[in-house]
């Protein structure tokens, strides 16, 4: 009856209030959703943040981590000109070595014996040279005396054959001296070669590097 005649009752006023509250709630929800949507769009379009530092001068270090196999830039094979038995090795794998450093040494017993023999032979050859020099000096002096006698005697003495024999003896003595000197030089050359081989028995590093 109240609805028909247009009179408000307590029940109608409560219903209206509830409808208004529901409408306000829906509007508030729509407004809040719209705000968050607009804020999200603004955040997505905003410029990304950057971290800044004062400009300074320094070294740039770049580090690369990777797996692989290390290979030398230069690789030198070490060997010896001599044949023989290795007596000692002074380095091992991955050891750092300097140029001229002794890496290994051959057995030098044979070379040492050869040097001793060469020195003895040289001493003997030098003694023969001294003997040959003395012989030349003696035969030359003897020939000089014979020539002086022949000059004083007018060629009567000594006999021509004796004079010729003295001259031949001097020539032989001179030849013996030359041969003795040649033997000395040959023995010295042998000694130098053997001493050089002795130095080659020590195998040295030709460069600075690492033993592989």
The domains of the chain are located at 2-41, 86-210
Task: Supply the pLDDT for residue 11.
Answer: 58
In whole angstroms, give the CA distance from residue 176 to residue 132.
6
In whole angstroms, give the CA distance from residue 212 to residue 208.
13
Three-state DSSP class for residue 95: coil
Q: State phi, psi for 204 to the nearest 5 degrees.
A: -110, 155
With a cut of 60, say whether residue 18 has pLDDT above it.
yes
**CA dihedral sign, ordered 100, 105, 108, 112:** positive
Q: What is the CA radius of gyration of the chain?
A: 58
Percent of the chain with pLDDT over 90: 56
pLDDT per position as a tens digit, 198-208:
999 999 999 99
**CA dihedral sign, ordered 18, 22, 27, 31:** positive
CA distances from 106 to 26, 42, 133, 143, 161 (A): 102, 84, 42, 57, 63
pLDDT per position as a tens digit, 156-182:
889 999 999 999 999 999 999 999 999
In whole angstroms, give the CA distance from residue 176 to residue 184.
12
Range with top average pLDDT, 14-28, 42-56, 76-90: 76-90
CATH number for the segment(s) 86-210: 1.10.287.620
Report helix, strand and coil shares of the chain as percent, to nearest 5: 60, 10, 35
Beta-carbon count within 10 A of 143 CB: 19
Average of per-residue pLDDT across 53-71: 75
pTM over 0.75: no
């Amino acid at each position: 009856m109240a609805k028909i005649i247009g009179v408000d009752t307590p029940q109608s006023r409560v219903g209206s209030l509830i409808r208004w509250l529901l409408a306000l709630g829906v509007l508030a929800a729509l407004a809040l959703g719209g705000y968050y949507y607009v804020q999200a769009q603004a955040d997505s379009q905003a410029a990304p943040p950057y971290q800044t530092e004062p400009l300074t001068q320094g070294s740039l270090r770049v580090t690369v981590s990777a797996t692989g196999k290390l290979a030398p830039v230069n690789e030198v094979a070490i060997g010896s000109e001599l044949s023989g038995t290795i007596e000692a090795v002074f380095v091992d794998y991955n050891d750092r070595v300097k140029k001229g450093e002794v890496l290994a040494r051959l057995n030098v017993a044979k070379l040492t014996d050869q040097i001793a023999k060469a020195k003895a032979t040289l001493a003997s050859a030098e003694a023969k040279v001294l003997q040959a020099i003395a012989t030349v000096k003696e035969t030359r002096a003897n020939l000089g005396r014979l020539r002086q006698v022949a000059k004083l005697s007018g060629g009567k003495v000594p006999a021509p054959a004796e004079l010729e024999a003295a001259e031949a003896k001097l020539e032989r003595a001179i030849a013996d001296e030359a041969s003795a000197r040649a033997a000395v030089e040959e023995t010295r050359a042998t000694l130098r070669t053997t001493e050089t081989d002795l130095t080659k028995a020590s195998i040295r590093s030709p460069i600075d590097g690492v033993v592989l």
